[in-house]
Amino acid sequence: MHKKRFVSTLAIAAFAGALVTGGCASAATTPPAAAAAASGRAAAAAGGTANIMIYAVNTDGAYFHAIVSGVIGDYGPAVSIYPDGQVDPLHNSQLELRLTHGSFRLSITALGKAFIKAASHEPIYPKTCTDLISVTKTSPIVAGSGTGAYRGIDGSFNITITLNEVEAQPCQPSPGAFRAQLITLAGPGTIVVDAVHQKWTVSTRAERGIQ
């Protein structure tokens, strides 16, 4: 599969949801600043394992949605971008997760190259004009990209991208030429937060009287 084909298959958008736990007080009785702090703590714990899931059903484009569970409990849209923040329609640079409590970026350059190589033999099953392609690469968090609850975030995700697709007839891969398509990017990651963010979290908890 050539690079143009990769543009159409790596695009992701879908409905997403996640469970985010807050403080002991309800949102109706908690002051806005305290509620925001509690929500931020729930969205990004001190560090550990997080699990990312991004997926699409029958769609092309640069815009996605993501779900993250584990030490991060959050969800929201994501977009393929260049380092300068401009939209990247080729999906071979960075993926910015614009979650409810903040944002951070993943480098997907190595993942994109591996996918292009694996998809160069498409159609994988020529008799039925279908594909099942799956590759795994490490996607590091872009240094300094964290905002909001993810300020100071670092680490990486071991992401597997999987394409399952029924191509359109005649069986000649081209952008958007599919009858049914599912793409997922999923995998665990090791997350750490720098000392500045740790200090902010501890002081906020103390101010609210939480041990």
Mind listing the pLDDT tens digit for each residue in 156-209?
A: 999 999 999 999 888 876 766 889 988 889 999 999 876 444 433 333 334 434
What would the pLDDT profile of 69-106 be if each residue is shown by its tens digit? 999 999 999 888 999 999 988 778 999 999 999 999 99
pLDDT value of residue 122: 86
What would the pLDDT profile of 32-58 be if each residue is shown by its tens digit? 444 444 444 445 556 789 999 988 788
pLDDT level of residue 9 (50, 70, 90 thresholds)? very low
- pLDDT reading at 28 higher than 50: no
22 with 38: CB under 8 angstroms? yes
Residue 125: which residues within 8 A CB-CB, separation 6 or more? 131, 132
pLDDT level of residue 136 (50, 70, 90 thresholds)? very high
Q: Which residues make beta-bridge pairs with 80?
A: 95
Q: Which of 76, 99, 84, 85 is nearest to 151 (CA)?
A: 99
CA distance 56 to 9: 9
Q: What angle do CA 149, 38, 147 make, to 5 degrees?
A: 10
Domain boundaries, given as residue ranges, for the chain = 3-207
Helix, strand, or coil (residue 76): strand
